[in-house]
Amino acid sequence: MMFKKITPMLVDGAAVQTARTLDVTNPATETLVAAVPEADAATLQAALTAAEKGFHVWSQTSPAARRKVIMAYADLLVKNQERLVELLRAETGKPLDNAEYDFGMLVTCLRFFVEEFERLDQPVLHDPDGRFLHYVQRQPLGVVVGMLAWNFPLLNLGYKLGPALAAGCSVIIKPSPLTPLASLEAAHLAKAAGFPDGVINVVTGSDHAVMAALLNSKVPALVTMIGSTRGGLEVMKASVTSVKHFSLELGGNAPVVVYPDADVRAAAHKVVDLKFANSGQVCVSPNRCFVHASVHDEFVTAAKESAASVKMGPLISAQARENVLKLVRNAVADGAQLVCGGQAVAGKGFFMEPTILRNVARTMKTASDEIFGPVLPIIRYTDADDVIALANDTDCGLAAYVFTKDLAKGLRAARDIKAGSVCVNEPHYSVQLPHGGLKQSGMGKDCSRYSIAEYLTLKRVSVLLEK
């Protein structure tokens, strides 16, 4: 029997094991990397109790003292970067540059949100009678349960830890069972940085029935999640045992609109660059590319040229790859044409060729479903007045992209496309910019000062100045 290294959970500042474990596999090599515990009911209850205790301590800690600990934590993570990146690559199969970006965003988020919290105002409110002093206090909301996706494990951790810790909340983090290792390793460094026990807790497992205890509990004040729309709905259903806040970043089906006056080659390069980032496993990835008929062929040619130089890691699992390949096969059977790719890469690992499809119809699943893989469907359109309706023809509304040299046209498209973010002429994302969706793509915001608001409650205080 092969020895398996087991990475423990973190609950109340202590390493925790359970009787059952969950294997973690490297999708680039298909080899066993390690195992993590399957959380049981007792462990989850301990995490809830610890987080309550941690919140009481951390919420009463001064912002200056919290800043010192969080900044020390960020510095400690940097000192352990090599180990964390190694674990990240082992559980995701990411190329080195992608893994380093993923790690770097965790550190960036921790530092950014500390600084952004200090810039929040606590306004004095006008009193029409002149008898009261009214002001607003921003106070930490409470215990936070954060459920993470597997595509960017440490970035996602930063999106949740950064604002929660800066605001004074305690957290229970549940990473994806596919990619828990780097998150656990990062969490175990928290005590050395000076966090009180119970402020940061990480539990692992794949048993949804067991994990539901986190959501059923009345302890969490906020449930925040990055994942699929279906998963988000299940989380909300399981959480309605008490009044809770939600911040959910869910599925996307991002449209691209390329107008006839666009810089076509530049647009193709930028779309391809984003589409095949992280092997297409990105929530804001271009998923439906509407290109005007007058520039369609030029765009297809330029996109194929750009795709030829793409270097990608694997998809997260054999099943994930098969799901994407099936979408491609079905699209071709229904009349779409392969421009390039369309096949699994031979050998070990769940690799797939960068794939471009043309002659895609709006009714195909490649145009209606989130692909979450390295496939770019290109859809020809002729009516510029109708293309916004085409872009909005989805239940999702996370991100969108527009390419045009006409600023007024770009601004109108940005106004009319129903998405949480619209980028004109170049995709752009940063921790300083709010990120979140409309429609079935979720609620609330990650990143920016608007994210901190998800972790704070507003209290109005009125003081009588005269009798």
Strand pairing class (337-340; 438-439): unpaired
Q: Are residues 238 and 288 in the same domain?
A: no
Q: Are residues 179 and 67 in the same domain?
A: yes
Catalytic residues: 249, 283
* pLDDT of residue 118 exceeding 80: yes
Q: Are residues 79 and 135 in the same domain?
A: yes
Q: Are residues 238 and 260 in the same domain?
A: no
CA distance 158 to 1: 37
pLDDT class of 6 with cuts at 50, 70, 90: confident
How high is the pLDDT of residue 208?
85
The first and second tokens of residue 414, run together, are 């940005």
Q: Are residues 241 and 322 in the same domain?
A: no
* pLDDT of residue 41 exceeding 80: yes
How high is the pLDDT of residue 40?
95
Q: Are residues 246 and 258 in the same domain?
A: no
Q: Are residues 229 and 273 in the same domain?
A: no
Tell whether 467 is covered by a domain: no
Q: Are residues 36 and 52 in the same domain?
A: yes
* pLDDT of residue 2 exceeding 60: no
Total domains, the chain: 2
Do residues 43 and 16 lie in contact, with contact meaning Cβ atoms separated by under 8 Å? Answer: yes
* pLDDT of residue 3 exceeding 70: no
Rounded (10°) angle between helices 153-167 and 96-118? 10
DSSP label at residue 217: S
Q: Are residues 222 and 101 in the same domain?
A: yes
Tell whether 1 is covered by a domain: no
Tell whether 194 is covered by a domain: yes
Q: Are residues 239 and 277 in the same domain?
A: no
Of 350, 270, 275, residue with least CA distance to 313: 350
Mean pLDDT for all residues in the chain: 95
The domain spanning residue 24 has which CATH number?
Answer: 3.40.605.10
Of 163, 112, 173, residue with least CA distance to 430: 112
Q: Are residues 392 and 453 in the same domain?
A: no
Residue that wins the pLDDT comparison between 466 and 104: 104
How high is the pLDDT of residue 4?
59
**Burial environment of residue 226 by CB neighbours within 10 A (0 to 12, 13 to 18, 19 or more):** buried
Q: Are residues 454 and 377 in the same domain?
A: no
pLDDT class of 211 with cuts at 50, 70, 90: confident
| Average pLDDT of the segment spanning 179-205 | 97
* pLDDT of residue 43 exceeding 50: yes
Please give the residue range of the domain that contains residue 68.
Answer: 9-250+441-460
Tell whether 410 is covered by a domain: yes
Tell whether 3 is covered by a domain: no
The domain spanning residue 262 has which CATH number?
Answer: 3.40.309.10
Q: Is the dihedral of CA 314, 318, 323, 325 positive or negative?
A: positive
Tell whether 406 is covered by a domain: yes
**Which residue is associated with the tokens 């950064």?**
162
Do residues 156 and 148 lie in contact, with contact meaning Cβ atoms separated by under 8 Å? Answer: yes
pLDDT class of 323 with cuts at 50, 70, 90: very high
Tell whether 465 is covered by a domain: no
